[in-house]
Amino acid sequence: MKPWYSTPAKTALEELNANPDTGLTESEVRARYEQYGPNEYAKPEQDGIVKMVLTQFKDLANVILLLAGFLSLALAIREGHGYLEPIVIFAIIVMNIALAVSQERGAEKALEALQSLSNPTCYVLRDGSRVEIETASAVPGDILILRTGDFVAADARIVSSTGLFVDESSLTGESEPAEKSSAPIDEDEAPLGDQTSMVFAGCLVTAGNAIAVITATGMDTEMGRIAGFLNNSQKIQTPLQKRLNRVSRMITIVAIVSAIVLVVVGLRQGEEFWMLMLAAVSLAVAAVPETLQLIVTLSLTHSVRKMVDQHALVRKLPAVETLGNTSIICSDKTGTLTQNRMTVQRLWIPGADPFAAEDPLSDEQARFLERLALASNATIEPVEPGSEDAEEGKPYRIVGDATESAIIRLLIEKGIDLSELRRAWPRIGEVPFSSDRKMMSSIHECPSGGYLVITKGAFDRLPFADDGAEAAAKRTAMHDAFADDALRLIALGSAHVEKLPEDGSFEELERNLTFGGLIGLIDPPRPEAAEAIAVAKRAGIRTIMITGDHAATAGAIAHELGLIGANDKVVTGRELSAMSDETLTENIGDYSVYARVSPEDKIRIVEAWQEHDEVVAMTGDGVNDAPALKAADVGVAMGQAGTEVAKSASDIVLTDDNFATIVAAVKEGRNVFDNIRKTLYFLLVCNMSEIAIILGAQLAGWGIALTPVMLLLINVLGDGIPGLSLAREEGDDRLMCRKPIARDESFFSGGLTKVIVQQALAFAVVGLVAYYLGSFVHLPGGTAPSQEVGQTMAFLVIAFTSILHIFTVRTRRSVFRRTIRDNMTMLYSALAMIALFTLMALIPPFGAIFGILPIGPVDWLVVIVLSVVPTIVAELFKLWDNRCESAAYRRRVVKHDIDDERFCL
């Protein structure tokens, strides 16, 4: 893009064939509209509902269930039996797909929000007349007329201006409105914040007026480039989605291999083909944990509800777990780590030591503050208490420039009445601020006679009277000390005159001023931010500051927050641009603060950390943050100060704009990860054991041990209903004493695979024993053996065993040492399912629907004994594993305060 900011205004007009007096003609407008198109942002294509549904079949587990459903339907048609099994299978498929689509259906509104940033109309010169046009009709070369309160319609080069200030915080990250003028910038690659001769689309004119020539519209503007980043950046899969996909692939492989073995062996044994198909359907149903997606979704939604109470609104469910895995937080400074409100921090008057704003005022200090207020144009306006504009719940708001508002706010805090002060010292004249002068003056009538001239502005521009080298050196040293702390400095001078100039030229009064003092202002850190950063650090999470503000200011805030040490450097956007992507990726760990960066720089930083397999959260509130919010693993926007663009591009919105809320959200995310691990442990033990039972019975020539409908009952009711309560398992503070979960860390790390295998074998053994006894052994006092009796006993044993297993997975410790009071829903749902399955076997008409027969008292005794065996096995293994832990491991647990729940075994 051409550097219009360094091009003289006259040259820019010539190159754009624009006349500042008459503007474009209608024919020129039509030609340029055809060439450049409307002044709008391109919108991305959105997937239709059909495509979203078809995408769900990339999950091989859904494909397996679909094939099982069609096979079951074919068997029902061929054999003439009921259609219960295919109906249930297809219903589960529909439920899973509906859940997935509903999660993804949240429409992306970032670009629509971008569009809403500009006014629907703007004023331009055309054919010599000032006309109001739709913003979309603006074209390059249009002469744009800007006034206070206007949103800039397109990027434009300033031709002339008076006292122009533009709020560019949403684009550059700077907390104060930027002063603008027509003077070109003598710099080759100036960052946006330094392009003072330009105005940019979507930014608000806070003061002054200007004439500018439009240089770019639509996607060619700076906002348009951000829209392009939002449009083109592809959201990578979250760690949760990747882990669940790996689980699906594993289940698919197990199902396919098991089916091949079953069919090959069955054909060699001379089994009927359609009987083998029925066994294959059973195996497919056994392999797929039908309620996994539901339980994972409910775990996430339960956490979402809790996070709403903690002031975090989750827009995309997987972001909950991803935030729990976060190892890097890239945070914007303005409005996120700071309060986005200029505040007087330090003051100094000659003959005294510097004092803090919160210190009590002496008479001389109060007089200094009063004069600062007299020279300010900010006003106090009444509002309804509690309204958005109210000043911290007060029945008023302060309206005016950020610096002057800070002065008035301090005046109120010190109990000084502004209206009374202004009545006592009525203003009769003013010399306004300008970028050339960098100061302003107000002239007041003195109660005792004569006039008081008060001038405030840049220290090096105020014409102070010669009061000696020592006094001059003292105030210069104090100025430098304030500046070293990255404070924004305002100097005050005053003079008393008896008469005013007859020609009304008040500028003549701005000389031989008596030095009154200095104030230092800054956008201060949020009080809770430093503590939140420290907590994140203890949790193994590194906080990075990325801001469009000046390096000195960013560095000072970073030091105060504990982000960097005294000798650490701040990297600027210019230095970043000089680095290749490879160099940045290689050295990314050396930098914690980035200043004066552009939107594309933020994306580069996020992606460089991701190249190191870090899970990156990006926080922000401005339009300039939106591309990085979308590119990060989880984007966190500020809900109060944040723009709609940032919120729409994010995954999570903080409704209280509190950085500390992120820490609470991270803890909740870590708890979600633990609960999903427990869910997988719970479901996979049941599913793997069912596969082993079906294969084992078939290989032994015993027939089909469990029918598809029995497996669905176990998986959906026996596992699913109690399994839902795992979503309510609570974590504790020790969750935040761990290191983050690595991006590539499996759900099965920490020895979970071994425990799943040993428990699945225990399940399979008792299930096969129950099936064999019911099918081939006539127990004294028991029911006559048959395949239906064997299936009933195997069904009851696996169902009861699975339900009891829910208590085993809650903790690495013994089930007898973990209270159930914190999750009574689990106990109630487990008892309800045990009662339901018992009634199926006790009430013949009820059980017959599902192929379940009544059994005798001895059979019931066998079922009960076999059902508790896996729990006893699990308890014995827990006892053995805990006793065999090494002393080094125990010391590590104690040292880092890591709970065994990390392993969720």
* pLDDT 10s digits, 809-831: 887 777 777 778 888 999 999 99
Selection from 774, 539, 837, 808 nearest residue 682 by Cα: 808
pLDDT band at 857, cuts 50/70/90?
very high
Which range (310-319, 396-405, 532-541, 766-775) has the least confidence?
A: 310-319
Q: From CA 225, how far away is CA 627, in angstroms rounded?
A: 10
Asked whether the predicted pLDDT for residue 15 surpasses 90, the reply is yes
Asked whether the predicted pLDDT for residue 754 surpasses 70, the reply is yes
User: Which tokens belong to 761?
Assistant: 């074998």
pLDDT band at 889, cuts 50/70/90?
very low
Give the torsion through C-alpha atoms of 769, 775, 776, 781, to 10 deg. Answer: 90
Q: What is the pLDDT of residues 417-456, one digit of tens each?
A: 999 999 999 999 999 887 678 899 999 999 999 999 999 9
Which range (107-121, 492-506, 740-754) has the least confidence?
A: 107-121
pLDDT of residue 630: 84
DSSP annotation string for 116-177: HTS-SEEEEEETTEEEEEEGGG--TT-EEEE-TTPBP-SEEEEEEEEEEEEE-HHHH--SSP
pLDDT of residue 234: 52
pLDDT of residue 812: 74
Angle between helices 659-699 and 752-776 in degrees, nearest 10: 40
pLDDT band at 102, cuts 50/70/90?
low
Q: What is the pLDDT of residues 692-721, one digit of tens each?
A: 998 899 888 888 888 888 888 888 888 888
pLDDT of residue 53: 73
**Look-up: residue for tokens 């803090």?**
356
Q: What is the pLDDT of residues 109-124, one digit of tens each?
A: 443 444 454 447 889 9
3-state SS assignment for residue 371: helix
Selection from 438, 455, 439, 468 nearest residue 496 by Cα: 455
pLDDT of residue 698: 84
pLDDT of residue 428: 93
Which range (211-220, 431-440, 664-673, 729-738) has the least confidence?
A: 729-738
Active site residues: 332
pLDDT of residue 266: 77
Asked whether the predicted pLDDT for residue 64 surpasses 80, the reply is no
pLDDT band at 290, cuts 50/70/90?
low
Q: What is the mean pLDDT of residues 61-77?
A: 73
pLDDT of residue 61: 64
pLDDT of residue 743: 75
pLDDT of residue 402: 83
Asked whether the predicted pLDDT for residue 380 surpasses 70, the reply is yes
pLDDT of residue 895: 43
Contact residues for 193 (Cβ-Cβ < 8 A; gap 6+): 168, 172, 173, 174, 178, 548, 549, 550, 596
Running DSSP on this structure, what letter comes out for residue 487? Answer: P
Q: From CA 64, how far away is CA 92, in angstroms rounded?
A: 12
**440 burial class (0-12, 13-18, 19+ CB within 10 angstroms)?**
buried
pLDDT of residue 119: 47
Q: From CA 396, how far away is CA 374, in angstroms rounded?
A: 19
Residue 171 contacts residue 200 (beta carbons within 8 Å)? yes
Read off the pTM: 0.68
Dihedral angle sign, alpha carbons of residues 11, 13, 16, 17: negative
pLDDT of residue 236: 55
Asked whether the predicted pLDDT for residue 310 surpasses 60, the reply is yes
pLDDT band at 896, cuts 50/70/90?
very low
Does an H or E element contain 542, and which?
Answer: strand 542-546
pLDDT of residue 828: 94
pLDDT of residue 888: 43
pLDDT of residue 144: 95
pLDDT of residue 179: 87
Q: From CA 660, how far away is CA 314, in angstroms rounded?
A: 16
pLDDT band at 514, cuts 50/70/90?
very high
Q: What is the pLDDT of residues 625-641, one digit of tens each?
A: 778 888 898 999 887 76
Residue 488 contacts residue 518 (beta carbons within 8 Å)? no
pLDDT band at 884, cuts 50/70/90?
low
pLDDT of residue 338: 83
Q: What is the mean pLDDT of residues 574-595?
A: 91
Spell out the SS3 assignment of 323-344: HHCCCEEEEEHHHHHECCCCEE
pLDDT band at 902, cuts 50/70/90?
very low
Selection from 666, 668, 651, 663 nearest residue 728 by Cα: 668
Asked whether the predicted pLDDT for residue 86 surpasses 70, the reply is yes
pLDDT of residue 631: 86
Q: From CA 370, how far away is CA 326, in angstroms rounded?
A: 49
Phi and psi (nearest 5°) for 650?
Answer: -95, 170
Asked whether the predicted pLDDT for residue 56 surpasses 90, the reply is no
Q: From CA 66, how far away is CA 71, in angstroms rounded?
A: 9
**331 burial class (0-12, 13-18, 19+ CB within 10 angstroms)?**
buried
Residue 579 contacts residue 601 (beta carbons within 8 Å)? no
3-state SS assignment for residue 509: helix
pLDDT of residue 106: 43
Which range (461-475, 752-766, 881-895) has the least confidence?
A: 881-895
Looking at every residue in the chain, the average pLDDT score rounds to: 83
Selection from 688, 685, 679, 694 nearest residue 795 by Cα: 694
3-state SS assignment for residue 411: helix
Contact residues for 585 (Cβ-Cβ < 8 A; gap 6+): 608, 611, 612
Q: What is the pLDDT of residues 151-192, one digit of tens each?
A: 899 999 999 998 888 888 777 767 678 889 999 988 877 888
Q: What is the mean pLDDT of residues 35-58?
A: 74
pLDDT of residue 79: 63
Asked whether the predicted pLDDT for residue 108 surpasses 90, the reply is no
pLDDT of residue 115: 45
Q: What is the pLDDT of residues 404-416, one digit of tens each?
A: 999 999 999 999 9
Q: What is the mean pLDDT of residues 832-852?
A: 91
Q: What is the pLDDT of residues 242-256, one digit of tens each?
A: 787 788 778 778 877
AA identity, residue 807:
F
- Which residue did the predictor score with more confidence, 563 or 640? 563
β-bridge mates for residue 314, sequence order: 652
